[in-house]
Structure 1
Amino acid sequence: MPQSHNSTSAGPLEVESPIINSPFYEPCCHWQIRKGEPPVKAEGRRAASYYFRVPEHAQRGRRQGGEQDLFGEADVGQEEELALVNLLRQRVAAWRKGELTGREYDGASSVTRELLALWRSEDRMQRLFFAQVEAAETIIFLVEAAEPYRKDIPKIPTDEPGAEARAHGFRAFTRYACKMATGTGKTTVMGMLAAWSILNRIAEPTDDRFTDTVLIVCPNVTIRERLQELEPARGDLSLYRTRQLVPPHRMEELRRGEVMIANWHRLAKQETSTVNGQSARVVKTGEPVEVVKNAGKKNETREIKYFESDRAWFKRIRQELGSGRGRAPHWLVFNDEAHHAYRRGERITDAADLDDDRKLAEKNAREATIWIEGLDRINKLAGGKKKGIRLCVDLSATPFYIQGSGNEVGRPFPWIVSDFGLLDAIESGLVKIPQLPSRDATGAEAAAYFNIWRWVQQKAIQDGYGTNITPEIVMTYASAPINLLAQEWHQRFQEWERFAKKQHRHPVPPVFIVVCRDTRVAKAVYEWLAEGKGGHGEAPPWFRNQPGEEVTVRIDSRVVEDIEEGGTKDETRRLRFILDTVGKPEWPGGKVPEEWSELVRKHNEKVASDDNDGSLKWIDEHIPPGRDVRCIVSVSMLAEGWDANTVTHIVGLRPFGSQLLCEQVVGRALRRRSYALKDDGSEQFAEETAKVFGVPFELVPFKVRESREPVEQPEPNHIYSVPEKVQYEITFPIVTGYQQSGHFDVSVDWNRVSKVTLDPMEIPPTVDLTPLTAPEGALSAYGPGERTKLSLNEWRRQFRDQQVAFRLAREVCRRWQEENGAEAVPVTQLFQKVLFAARRFLADPEKLVRKGDSQACDLLAVGHYMQAAVSTLLDAIQRGTDQSTHELPVIPQGASGRGSTLYVDFYSTKPIYPVEKCHLNAMVADTGKWEQSAAFALDVHPGVARWVKNDHLGFVVPYRKRNIQARYIPDFIVVLDNGLQLIVEIKGQYDDDADVKAKAAERWVRAMNHLGEYGRWSYVVVEDPQKLGAAIDAVSASGWDSEYIELSQG
């Protein structure tokens, strides 16, 4: 049941504990916060939706027909469901669990299954976030999932080119967008999907669903350089190994693929300036393009320039970006920060909509045109007669149409297939919690500093300044909120400084960002903060620059563009290095970039020159230039992909016409500092916050009790196989299931058939659809709008009970054969008996209970009912007593069917214990004494040849738990001198689950010994590690006859 949390109607709505989910699992609950109501923690995951608001022209400093329009409430917008995402969430979850077909990840290749198992494993140094796994799973599902799971999924819209693009031979290509909040790990998702595509293509070179040629397009040079870790050729330094995205034995295969990384600027066509030493204009080689400069002005000029042809462009791009390793003719493309990659729409944008951001809109349009046209050319030329782009995956926190796109600003891309939005990220602890002003002494419904720009406009009108908001007017009012927030920043700074001193580290300061409307406002803010100029009151003293101590930097939009394009001017390069190292106490990898060393050398030469009047100070190249930055004044939102995690405060001094822009600005402060779990066993992160003024982002006003001091993380220990101890290597088979070696009879035990209830109150077959948007944009049970009723009545008329029985029996038989082997029982014999049982089941009112107007065919419509019916019939099937049949293990072919201690390589912050008769350098201890005691007993026992703890080893025993496929991970593998191999479990307390696991292990041992190809095995369980030696003696004395030894404390 949802739990209510106390809240007073007079105060702001607050959630005392905003983090209510673990980052490693699907969200199990969410906060419901509605205007005027206390917050409620509701069970289940929040439905995917987006908040749309018509751009607010009134906030852009123009009179639209009177003060009422200027200051009146704009359209507050509405919440709209992402229906496709919600449907896919259900289908992917069902596919993950095998709910429709009884097989997890049905349809996925063996390579894909191996990767998914690795990604979802809890036994890893850095567990992947659920947000990352879900995004990758959704893309894989759309490519590989079996038909029952993809049935009735609406056709996902493609990115159709316009008439002009079609005339050039450009065709649509498939795009799937993953919406992931800033800080949830988009780069890792790209690595997961790149590995998935490449390894599958290497395994099946003719399977055109996959490709080993990957292109990543990103917005700027900063991201491009950071994404170099996705290059497989980097080996152990690549993300595939540092984040354990690929098993070690697959890395050599992965290196056969090709990953190209380019910022969008690289996709622009180049002018053919010369041909064989002559001007291209003279020989007229290339494609002529009319270039217009200063359009619409008196000095407008036009000239013809010649650019490379499409084929020449493609040849050049292939040579510049690629290594030629990729063999597939078609490509997998990732659009990083994909909201920049769109086709221009035909929507006529209101002039007021562009007044203050016309340059930004023009920049966006140019960027999108070059980006998309580049992909169109690849799609046209890379694949020959087929499409050159097999799949394009968009990743963005905000995959919506942006200003200047010619589309409705704030509307989402129609091909969004997964969504882990900001609220989900906050409730899972993946990001900082943004806190915005909610009340102040004005008594107004909206606090003044919630939307500083609107507040400044109002004050300017009231004070007689008119509507022309100059930088001076802005600073007249904006200095107050900046100062107020700076006081809180200073408190945070002192706390961080004290913590750093206790750790004997150089203090890295929190970062304060001011996002301005234009360069004039930015200049005024910078001069006030960094230089003490302007006469706008006393500036916070902590942001004042001193000779040789630059704590406040200014980043104009022009500089941002130069940085994004990889500009070569010294000042551009200097600012790029500052931004790249904000919050970093040392250079990444401990290596000073050569380019920075060159800049420092030039600067220090000027310091040593006679022309230096003392204002220039010597720079130590070993100190990152952004380490001590406290404040950044910027016109732009700062470069996307900027990974600084020390931003704690933001002030917005500009109009915000959409929630999209608000989220992008707030996103600069969302990256967490610490990913250490709380020590209360909750598997949750501690709260971290970001204070935000002037960015009217309508989100839950969270109030938290945050841990001020960062959680210190212990230094991890490296656990690996030691080449010099190869004599202790242990290999083992990887069993995925079982099958029968011969024929046997079956029967259905009717007494074991459980009751299944069809209840409309639990799963309604009739639904009223009602618009649930209240005027304030919150969900409401009441409201105007047409109601629509949906029911199963028309669908029910298609089926008779005989058809239902036939389909039910077919599903039961298919599931049974998957588990027992297709040849175990002749299919006709099996089907006849199951069909008889299915008909009896449907006709028996005690077995199939129909409440209300439920009908038998509802089994086919509701997966919950169908799975219940299939499971109960499966459990009732009894095998015959023919002793000539044996169960054999199912072991995949090739490397995926063989495990070894050779591949163990991981890090752990847990205590370690020295080992001798083990291939590894040490053992990670998960218990206080028991595992250490067992390790000592194994090392000193004369009959033990070698042993290993089953930690990051990949050895599992498959079994079914409540009709769900599960994996049992025993404690140890031990090999005796006589060759007998033991699966050892140390179990201090028995329960039902332990008994189920023991039976699963016995089944594994019997099947393996019947197969006889992997030596002799036995299963040993002890309740006390002190008894382990005696258990080994007992199994040795049994002469290999015993497949199960249990030694209790008694």
Structure 2
Amino acid sequence: MPRRKKDSDPSQQDLLNVAVQLRTAPCVPALREAVQQWRKQNYKGATETTQLLLQHWFQRDHRGFNGRPFAYHAFQREAIETLIYVWEIAKVRNRAALLEKYTQSLEGVRLPPFDGFSRYAIKMATGSGKTKVMSLAIVWQFMNAAREAEEIAKDYARTFLVVAPNVIVYERLKTDFEGSRIFRVDPLIPKPLEIFWDFDCVLRGAGERAHYEGMLFLTNIQQFYERRSRNNDEEPEEMTGMLGKKPSGQKLEITDFGERIAKRSGHLLVINDEAHHTHEEGNEWNQVIRRLHEQTPLAAQLDFSATPRFQKGAIFPWTVFDYPLKQAIFDRVVKRPMKGVAKMQESKSTIASVRYKAYLTAGVERWKEYRGLLKPLQKKPVLFVMLSDTAEAEDIGHWLRDKYPAEFGGEQTLIIHTNKTGEITKADLDKARKAAREVDDEANPINAIVSVLMLREGWDVQNVTVVVGLRPYSAKANILPEQTIGRGLRLMFRGANSGYDERVDIIGNKAFLEFVDDLEKLEDLTFDTFEIGKEKPRILSIMPVEEKKEFDIAIPQLTPSLVRKKSLSEEIAGLDVMQFDCAVLPMKEGDLAEKNFKFEGYDILTLKKILERQYTLADPQTAQEVIGYYARIIAKEVKLPSQFAALAPKVREFFEHKAFGKTINLDESAAIQAMNSNVAQYVCVQTFKKALLDKTIAEQEPVLHTTARPLSAMEPMPWSRKVYEGRKCVLNLVPCGNDFEKAFAKFLDHAEDVKAFSKLPERFGFAIEYTDAAMNLRYYYPDFVAIDQQGVHWLLETKGQQTEEVSHKEHAAQIWCANATVLAGVPWRYLKVMQTAFASLRPETLEDLTVLPQA
């Protein structure tokens, strides 16, 4: 695992931490603190639409289209929260204001000469899912434009332009946006807001479409201009090779996107992907965007990049969020780089295949080891070799084909040729684009890629397991360390809780490893090492075993017993507000109701002190203003915004006949003033919320949806953590998340009354619906399943401590077992096993565990 050179607790970082200031953009530390505080305040000041979206994205469980758990990463959440905060809450509308508000000092900071609209850079490590954050930003802007009142909605974007720097990046983005795929597959749109989603994605070259309220145009920047020939003031060849040539000044309109955008009403949001060159204010890329702004005002320009740096290494000062490669490695969001160590030397020869033979052989042997380990998982590894020039690449490519014909012969080795400027030659461009899309496919023949350059942006190759670097890099190109190594770090196995810590092995000559050292210095970490030829890679394949089929366990598939209601109109209409159990509200200070007030254990003075003003309803003129506002808050709290119209009459009835202990005239000024208080708001909202929350989730009678699904149907999965080799488990190895799970697996394996058992990996996909304390619909994944000698099936949960959340899961599991027993005709029981109780009891049989206390 990469090691920090200095241990630090991120929660203790503050604005006086100079080290943090130096390692990131000047605005990031202060913004990070502000966003954390804003989250603690439950997104105070955000629009109702924004709050609903944030709640849906990050406070509910989701399952992907493949049935497996889906969750946005914490850093993706922080990225979109930061964008929302700086634009919607802080209302920073240009880069000068951003720097003045969030930097400690403007000394040495370049102030931009063109600053006519909001522009923010988002720094996210390669492979960390920038496109996910783009899609969140698009939905946030459009939903506010479509749903909020016109006074608010007019500032948000209805039109979106996503710009790629080259065709390869364009084609990667096309995979997500073609046919609006990402908006259909990811849980971006809450069901109550689907009615507002009138949206289409238009790709480069597509003709006119029918009108949609929201429209996204996807293209590459070359569609707006043509690059000019290289001259002396451009970037070094190494940087050009990695990033593509700089945008030039010769304009050549070959698309009508600009004209089509101009015809649309409202604001435009521009998203630049891999926006490495956008710091050059005068280049054609930025001029294109400024021309668009003149015809269609920009809501904002978002620059996404793993390396938004100037040539000398400093991060763009308008960067608002920074998720560095170092953190991505620690979070296991990308592969863990491992440096190969060996006493190898270059041979004294001008022929590359002779000079670098030792390094190449070591790389090939390492690749072979990965090939054997990955074969049961139906994945193939890719070897990547970097050379100094085209002639060397050609020589090494032919050497691989001739020396290892079975592994790298013919089309199994791809040689990417570059011209003298470092660009992929036109003859090889189609091959490179095709390889970028297909090389990870198990059926694709390519096993090795040989090139002068490391994978450029847009090469989303996930299966790179071995990188052999045999070229030096110029010190002039400070941006290259992150770009070069980062291209090989994308995960091969993605998904929640995979249990496998992926790695990429780096083998190189002295010059290349010195270059890798520069990355370690830049990221303030030290890569682990392995001894070439001695330390073997380790990948455990967890899979069912045919010889152990007698220990297979089938789990019945039931339809959900809990679903979120889309409408509560009838339930709301049936509410009897006179039966609400709540304190009588005072009409004025000092009256009898104020003296006798008690609500949720608080008296009136205490409640006034602990409540901050949560709304901005200044001096309402009518009771209906207050009633409407409270109805919207209640609808948001119970997560059914479409029920506002149904709630408003009930809120009026509550205040008119119940809240003040008598019937009052709501049109009187005293009544309006009494309604418009922190205490009145709190009592009204909490009382309605209590009455409605248990009605937002509908219980339905489950049915046996399909035949039972056996554990033997589980696909093989990689694992690199603790395992137990169980005799009575259909899997070859029992995957264990911690020592307690391993001890429990051993206990089940040895218990005489247990016929068969298994861990239930999340990858298997078995989950039980339940609701948490806030009535969010969640999914619970039990730990173990077992069958005793009497044929009783058990769901078993191992826990270190009891929490309220555990109680909700336990209740749902007990209901599932009761339903499964009736529907499947097989007895099912649930048992929770606390770690301390297990250690004290020292059970020998499953029956012994039944004496343990349950909730």
Which range, TM-score by smaller chain?
0.5 to 0.7
Quick one: which amino acid aligns to residue 50 of structure 2?
T
Alpha-carbon distance, 1:171 to partner: 5.3
2:328 alignment counterpart: 425
Given that residues 164 and 272 in structure 2 are in contact (C-alpha distance below 8 angstroms), is that contact kept between their aligned partners in structure 1? yes
1:192 and 2:139 are equivalent in the alignment: no
Quick one: which amino acid aligns to residue 290 of structure 2?
D
1:268 alignment counterpart: 225
1:483 alignment counterpart: 357
SS at match of 1:887: helix
Given that residues 219 and 264 in structure 1 are in contact (C-alpha distance below 8 angstroms), is that contact kept between their aligned partners in structure 2? yes
Alpha-carbon distance, 1:721 to partner: 12
Q: 1:46 to 1:436 in 2, by over 3 A?
A: farther
1:245 and 2:188 are equivalent in the alignment: yes
1:136 and 2:96 are equivalent in the alignment: no
2:613 alignment counterpart: 814
Determine which of 656, 663, 668 is the counterpart of 2:482: 663
Distance 2:155 2:302 in 1: 14
2:390 alignment counterpart: 522
Distance 1:433 1:145 in 2: 37
The superposition leaves residues 89-114 of structure 1 with CA deviations (integer Å, 9 ceiling, x where unpaired) of 1221221122xxxxx11122232223
Alpha-carbon distance, 1:485 to partner: 3.4
Distance 2:456 2:403 in 1: 27
1:401 alignment counterpart: 310
Within-5 A mapping of 1:343-354:
343=280
Given that residues 702 and 819 in structure 2 are in contact (C-alpha distance below 8 angstroms), is that contact kept between their aligned partners in structure 1? no
Distance 1:219 1:891 in 2: 54
Paired residue total: 610
Quick one: which amino acid aligns to residue 110 of structure 1?
E
Distance 1:43 1:671 in 2: 25
Determine which of 47, 62, 68 is the counterpart of 1:109: 47
Distance 1:739 1:315 in 2: 65
Greater helix content: 2
Q: 1:529 to 1:989 in 2, by over 3 A?
A: closer
Distance 1:995 1:571 in 2: 56
Determine which of 179, 183, 190 is the counterpart of 1:234: 179
Alpha-carbon distance, 1:513 to partner: 2.4
1:674 and 2:500 are equivalent in the alignment: no
Q: 1:292 to 1:993 in 2, by over 3 A?
A: closer
1:317 and 2:277 are equivalent in the alignment: no
Within-5 A mapping of 1:130-169:
130-145=74-89, 154=101, 162=113
1:340 alignment counterpart: 277
Alpha-carbon distance, 1:187 to partner: 1.1
Distance 1:491 1:292 in 2: 43
Given that residues 338 and 396 in structure 1 are in contact (C-alpha distance below 8 angstroms), is that contact kept between their aligned partners in structure 2? yes
Q: 1:318 to 1:720 in 2, by over 3 A?
A: farther
Alpha-carbon distance, 1:994 to partner: 3.8
1:508 and 2:380 are equivalent in the alignment: yes
Given that residues 431 and 670 in structure 1 are in contact (C-alpha distance below 8 angstroms), is that contact kept between their aligned partners in structure 2? yes
The superposition leaves residues 154-190 of structure 1 with CA deviations (integer Å, 9 ceiling, x where unpaired) of 157999765xxxxxxx753221111111110111111
Determine which of 208, 211, 214 is the counterpart of 2:160: 214
The alignment yields a C-alpha RMSD, in angstroms, of: 6.1
Within-5 A mapping of 1:667-746:
667-675=486-494, 685-693=500-508, 694=512, 695-696=515-516, 697-699=518-520, 700-703=526-529, 708-709=538-539, 743-744=585-586, 745=593
Given that residues 219 and 337 in structure 1 are in contact (C-alpha distance below 8 angstroms), is that contact kept between their aligned partners in structure 2? yes
Distance 2:298 2:494 in 1: 37
Alpha-carbon distance, 1:542 to partner: 3.5
1:389 and 2:298 are equivalent in the alignment: yes
Distance 2:685 2:479 in 1: 64
Distance 1:645 1:253 in 2: 34
Within-5 A mapping of 1:459-478:
none
Distance 1:807 1:666 in 2: 58
Q: 1:191 to 1:916 in 2, by over 3 A?
A: same
Given that residues 49 and 79 in structure 1 are in contact (C-alpha distance below 8 angstroms), is that contact kept between their aligned partners in structure 2? no
Q: 1:925 to 1:200 in 2, by over 3 A?
A: farther
Alpha-carbon distance, 1:643 to partner: 0.2
SS at match of 2:285: helix
Alpha-carbon distance, 1:952 to partner: 9.5
Distance 2:801 2:432 in 1: 62
Alpha-carbon distance, 1:499 to partner: 3.7
Q: Structure 2-normalised TM-score?
A: 0.57
Determine which of 442, 447, 455 is the counterpart of 1:638: 455
Q: Structure 1-normalised TM-score?
A: 0.48
2:403 alignment counterpart: 541
Alpha-carbon distance, 1:421 to partner: 0.3
Quick one: which amino acid aligns to residue 554 of structure 1?
I
Alpha-carbon distance, 1:630 to partner: 0.8
Q: 1:727 to 1:42 in 2, by over 3 A?
A: closer
Distance 2:478 2:338 in 1: 16
Q: 1:711 to 1:85 in 2, by over 3 A?
A: farther
Determine which of 422, 441, 452 is the counterpart of 1:584: 441
1:412 alignment counterpart: 315
Q: Which runs of 5+ in 2 are unaligned?
A: 64-68, 201-211, 234-247, 521-525, 545-553, 573-579, 587-592, 627-677, 712-728, 730-764, 782-795, 822-852
Given that residues 96 and 105 in structure 1 are in contact (C-alpha distance below 8 angstroms), is that contact kept between their aligned partners in structure 2? yes
The superposition leaves residues 398-451 of structure 1 with CA deviations (integer Å, 9 ceiling, x where unpaired) of 11013xxxxxx21111111111101101110111222346x776xxxxxx99xx
The superposition leaves residues 561-608 of structure 1 with CA deviations (integer Å, 9 ceiling, x where unpaired) of 467xxxxx665323321333222224xxxxxxxxxxxxxxxxxxxxxx
1:87 and 2:33 are equivalent in the alignment: no
Within-5 A mapping of 1:38-49:
40=7, 44=11
Distance 1:924 1:378 in 2: 55
| Larger-Rg structure | 1
Given that residues 95 and 145 in structure 1 are in contact (C-alpha distance below 8 angstroms), is that contact kept between their aligned partners in structure 2? no
2:116 alignment counterpart: 172
The superposition leaves residues 988-1008 of structure 1 with CA deviations (integer Å, 9 ceiling, x where unpaired) of 99998449989xx9xxxxxxx
Quick one: which amino acid aligns to residue 958 of structure 1?
A
Distance 1:246 1:555 in 2: 44
Quick one: which amino acid aligns to residue 490 of structure 1?
V
SS at match of 1:556: coil
SS at match of 1:814: coil
Distance 1:292 1:688 in 2: 40
Q: 1:245 to 1:550 in 2, by over 3 A?
A: same
Within-5 A mapping of 1:526-605:
526-532=393-399, 541-542=403-404, 548-557=410-419, 561=423, 571-586=428-443
Quick one: which amino acid aligns to residue 412 of structure 1?
I
2:689 alignment counterpart: 889
Alpha-carbon distance, 1:45 to partner: 7.4
1:958 alignment counterpart: 774
1:799 alignment counterpart: none
Within-5 A mapping of 1:889-1038:
889=689, 916-917=702-703, 957-958=773-774, 993-994=803-804
Given that residues 121 and 321 in structure 2 are in contact (C-alpha distance below 8 angstroms), is that contact kept between their aligned partners in structure 1? yes
Distance 1:997 1:727 in 2: 17
Given that residues 741 and 886 in structure 1 are in contact (C-alpha distance below 8 angstroms), is that contact kept between their aligned partners in structure 2? no
1:498 and 2:372 are equivalent in the alignment: yes
